[in-house]
Amino acid sequence: IAGVVDPAQLTSVEQCGTGNTTKGSDDVATCVSEGQTDIGCIAAGIVPESGVNIDNLGRGSGSLGEVVWPPGAPASAAGDGDHLAVAMVLDGPVPLADPTLYYQYGWVFDSDGQAGNNYQALSSYPADFFIDTDLWVQLLYIPGSGWEMSVSDIVGNSPVPRFASKAKIVIAGNVLLLLSPDEELLGSASYPNARYRMSAFRHDGDYLYGFWNADVHPTVTQPLLSVPQP
C-alpha cells in the first residue's frame, strides 16, 4: 500500500493475533480462522490530501494489485481533501480470482454513536458480524464475476446503497486498504463518536451447511474500535 499512502500515517494499530477462534453469525458454530480470512492486524489513520497518491487509484489491476471501486463511482482527483484509511492485514494473500469460493470483507461503522439507527441482527443470526452499525463498506467476490465493492447506509434495518461514493479498496497481497475522503464517509461532526469493526469471511456457496471460515475484530461482544481523529 506504500504506493497509495505512507503506512507510517496509519497511526492507530490493533494487533489481532492469528489462528483466532471465531464464532459464526448463528452464535453456535465456530471455526479457526486461517490464511485469507485470518485478521492479524488492523491499522487506521487520517491521511492528509498531500499524502494520497491519486494516480495509483485507477480502477482495476495495476502495479499494486487490484483497485476496486463501488458502482457509479466518480474518479478520484486532487482536491478530495484528507482521507480516512483503514487497512486489514491478513495471514495469507487475498486471491484476485478463485474458482470455487466466495469472499466477503467488511468495514462496518457506527458512524454517529447513536444506537437507535444501528442494524439489529435477525433472530437466526444473533451474532451477525455487522450488528450495532449503521454504515457498511464491503468487498465481495463471486466466482466467475470478480471483485466488487459496496457502500451502504442502514435505513429501516436494511442496507441502502450509496451512489457515487469515492471510497476505494486496494487489494495488495495480504493487505486490504479502504481509502475514502473523510468528509464523505463519516463527516467531521461524526468523528468524536464514530466506531468500527472489521471482518473476513469466505464460503463455498452454502454458508449454512457447507464450508466456511471467518474472523472478526473486535468480536460482536466487544466494544467497537474508535475511528482515528482528524
Choose between 214 and 193: higher pLDDT.
214
Rounded-to-integer distance, Cα 210 and Cα 225, Å: 31
Is the sign of the CA dihedral 10, 113, 168, 36 positive or negative?
Answer: positive
pLDDT of 115 above 90: yes
pLDDT of 83 above 70: yes
pLDDT digits (tens, 9 = 90+) for 169-198: 999 999 999 999 988 888 766 777 899 999
Rounded-to-integer distance, Cα 162 and Cα 153, Å: 7
3-state SS string for 15-35: ECCCCCEEECCCCCCEEECCH
Find cell 471465531 and name the residue: 22
CA distances from 9 to 52, 137, 156, 169, 210 (A): 10, 21, 36, 17, 40
For the chain, which residues make up each domain, given as ranges? Answer: 7-218
pLDDT of 28 above 80: yes
